[in-house]
Amino acid sequence: MAVPLPEPEDTEMNMTPMIDIVFQLIIFFLLSLKFKTIDRRIESMLPKDRGLAPTPTFPEDFLKVKIKAFRRDMADKEKAYTMIKIDNEKKQYVLPKGWKGRLKESSDRIDAYDKVMNTLKSIVLKKLKAHGGSPEEVKGEIVAPPPKGGAVPHGDIVQILNVFLEVGMTDIVFEGAATPLTSSERAARAAGGS
């Protein structure tokens, strides 16, 4: 015959005293812990040219070739053109007016465009030779300063980038800002147009 066993009571262990003891042990160990004096020191090699009495050091000069691009006569698309300057030289290089792209232009206008780009390339090469270093050590910078620089066509910027890449320069920085949208362009974008 089976003997009925009483059902066990639902007992829970009271964790509060154990948590109190654990926290007291943590506090005890934190307060009684002492570091060795050697452990407190951090060995480091601090620079001698900085601090309260620095010895001046000058960074090594590096060559930077800066090409600035501006858009002119933007009101009339047939007369609009891109003007290019290299570094702080006064000479300006002008791409053909009303340029529509290689696929839509005649061969003589493409030749005129390529002639300007080849001139830019030869100037950059002269600057590299004057520096005497390899093209990897020279920094290129393409600047399209606002407001006129923001309207420079993407294709012109890419061609300037190609000038740098063709001479072997790989460290190239872009600087500029996009032209703000007109109210009609903003309305068209808000309506879902491009």
Give residues with Cβ within 8 angstroms of 123, minimum separation 6. 86
% of the chain beyond a pLDDT of 90: 7
Q: What is the C-alpha to C-alpha distance for residues 79 and 73, in angstroms, rounded to an integer?
A: 6
User: pLDDT by residue (tens digit) across 151-192?
Assistant: 778 788 888 888 888 888 888 887 766 656 677 777 777 776
Q: Which residue has the higher pLDDT, 184 or 57?
A: 184
Identify the pLDDT of residue 94: 84
173 within some domain = yes
* pLDDT value at 83 more than 80: yes
Is position 164 within any domain?
yes
Q: Is residue 38 part of a domain?
A: no
Q: What average pLDDT does the structure give for the chain?
A: 78
What is the span of the domain harbouring residue 134?
A: 64-180
pTM recorded for the entire structure: 0.58
Structurally, the chain folds into a number of domains equal to: 1
Strand order in the sheet with 92-94: 92-94, 81-86, 64-72, 139-144, 171-176
Query: What would you measure as the largest C-alpha separation in the chain, in angstroms?
Result: 115
For residue 2, is it within any domain?
no
